[in-house]
Structure 1
Amino acid sequence: MTLSAPPLKVERLALSRFTTLGVGGEAEVWTVHDHAQLAAAMQAPYRVLGGGSNLVISDDGVPERVIRLAGEFAVRDLERDASLSSEREYVTGWIGGGAPLPGLVRELARRGLSGLEGTVGIPAQVGGAVWMNAGTRYGEMFDALYSLEIATPGGVRVVTPNDLEHGYRKSGIGRDEIVTRVRLRLGSSTPEEVTARMTFADEARKGQPKMKTPGCAFKNPGGVSAGKLIDEAGLKGYRIGNAMISLEHANFIVNLGGARAADVLAILEHVRSIVGVPLELEYELWP
């Protein structure tokens, strides 16, 4: 027997509660559990909010409705799809875009499935991580993608990574498009080997701050470390209000408690005015 989806939930909420930075004003939040509810939510201007990392939301919130994926969009089918897999490749069933990435990575390690070790520690949902091709120098989301289901106001389509112009921190997926589900292409390994690779990648992140932060502020320009450029400019510890450039890693801005989005944006502009190299934001700014 197929159970019906929970009812669509629409609430006016502070978006700060959904972000790793902990800032952001209010918006109308639509929590959708299936494709029918998602289609209804997409009939007016909208934004999609996943794990809330890599995101700075205005203190005034946003005027659009904000969609959050739940229900069937948070389900993980990690069983091997025999019709798509080969002797060397393990292709999963569908994994919801609203599924938390950290839990997925841990479960893949437990099963001895290799491909996403380089994304360890990224506090995102699967759909958002794919949308920005999140990753580290040890790997990114597109390394393990087999296919993607993408929703737009006009309908749903399935594509492969080869259909998208993806690259460093970009997926080629449009701003009005929502990654609802993905299939992964993985390699068979052992839990011990996958865990060892995850541990190695995680060790390289030891210098990153553990406070409230959206993650890296700027993309590395031309292969040069943005954090190194900011550090060399003497900006570690630079503070506006309760937002500060981390003392641990200069490419991170942290919330000391009660910071505002306006404080973060002012720091970003100050960094750009001081560092002698054009810096492209890695953060997504709303609005």
Structure 2
Amino acid sequence: MTASEPVPISRTGARVERLPLARYTTLGVGGEAEVWFVSTHEQLAEAMSQPYRILGGGSNLVIADEGLRERVIRLTGPLAEADLEPDPALSTPDQIITGWVGGGVPLPGLIRKLQKLGWSNLEGTVGIPAQVGGAVWMNAGTRYGEMFDGLHTLEIVTPEGTRQVTPDDLKWGYRDSGIPRNHIVSRVRLKLRPSTPDAVLDAMNFADNARKGQPKMKTPGCAFKNPGGVSAGKLIDEAGLKGLRAGNAMIAPEHANFIVNLGGATSADVHALLDAIRSRVPVPMELEYELWPEQHGLEQA
């Protein structure tokens, strides 16, 4: 599809537009695609009837300047709302099980609401600019906690239908939920521990203070996973790459495992820096980013 071609009309009432994807990523790069804004399971099923990708908060993501051939799905409406009322059939005095939280709910706002309620288990994910579905799919987190610390039930939509699973049903681990790539986390129920707003806030501040050295400019987040417990940022720094530029992208002087957009950067600029890191750092490192479409073989690093 080209920019001049009309977008399809959804039979289920989903909003469909052809849009630049740069506006939906924390890096701020990416070409155009057909974007489906879905608010019901019926609309989601229709959107998944053709090749698709699901786009949440847009962190940990580098989208090609040429855009995508596949349609891009965004969760809205009820699929971006949170029912935080404790489920009386599942909750106990020591454990809170919430109602359904949509995959399109922004994670930072959810964490703030949980803090005000004094509910613990997810404060270690503070500062992650993601939506719930994407954060669950990659088991996003920090050294102080991850998404699977606070999950009770996951609703997963596949091309074959919808199913509910628990964390015990999945082979999840570090930055990995075990959920296949073509499956969408549409909703989750949270498993939380009663605490106090002050105690949760203290834990959030502690986790957030550890991130103070990270750059504040547009960035996808950490570029590489730490190999074997060694800091990827330290390895990149020791290779003398801090501050290296390609076009309007730069390896951040504050933290070498971050690539930042100085303004007007392209996906090609970012890939040039990723290639430079791979060629100069002697230790094999696995890429943290999603690359759309996959290219350069980096996704297999």
Verify same fold: TM over 0.5: yes
2:180 paired residue among 150, 156, 174 = 174
CA distance in structure 1 between the aligned counterparts of 2:215 and 2:40, rounded to whole angstroms: 36
* 2:92 maps to 1:90: no
Matched, 1:246 2:252: yes
Give the 3-state SS of the residue equivalent to 1:244 in structure 2.
Answer: strand
Equivalence map 1:72-221=2 (5 Å): 72-221=78-227
Query: Match for 1:45 among 47, 51, 56?
Result: 51
The answer to whether 1:13 aligns with 2:19 is yes
Equivalent AA in structure 2 for residue 102 of structure 1? P
* Secondary structure of 2:156 counterpart: strand
Q: What secondary structure is seen at the aligned counterpart in 2 of 1:92?
A: strand
Whole-Å Cα distance in 2 between the matches of residues 7 and 190 of structure 1? Answer: 43
Superimposed CA distance per residue, residues 118-155 of structure 1 (whole angstroms, 9 cap, x where no aligned partner):
10000000000000000000000001100100001111
**Bigger mean CA deviation after superposition, 82-91 or 102-111:** 82-91
Gaps of 5+ in 1: 1-5
Q: Secondary structure at the match of 1:231?
A: helix
Instruction: Give the TM-score normalised by structure 1.
Output: 0.97
Q: Percent identity?
A: 71
Q: Given residue 233 of structure 2, which amino acid in structure 1 is its aligned partner?
A: G
Tell me the distance in 1 between the aligned counterparts of 2:141 and 2:228.
17
Corresponding letter in the other structure for 1:284: E
Aligned residues: 282
Runs of at least 4 residues off by over 3 Å: none
**Residue 278 of structure 1 pairs with residue 284 of structure 2:** yes
Residues 172-197 of structure 1 show CA distances to partners (whole Å, capped at 9, x for unaligned) of 01111000000111000000000000
Distance in 2 between residues matched to 1:138 and 1:30, nearest whole Å: 35
Deviation at 1:68, TM superposition (A): 0.3
Unmatched 5+ residue regions in structure 2?
1-11, 294-301
Instruction: Provide the rounded CA distance (Å) in 2 between the counterparts of 1:175 and 1:28.
Output: 19
Shift of 1:266: 1.1
Question: What is the rounded CA distance, in whole Å, between the counterparts of 1:209 and 1:243 in structure 2?
Answer: 13
The CA deviation string for residues 211-265 of structure 1, in whole angstroms up to 9 with x for no partner, is 0000000000001110011111111001100000000000000000000001101
**Structure 2 letter corresponding to 1:27:** A
Deviation of residue 269 (structure 1)?
1.0
Q: Distance in 1 between matches of 2:276 and 2:153?
A: 41
Aligned-partner Cα distance in 1 for 2:55–2:110: 18
Q: Which amino acid aligns with 1:232?
A: E
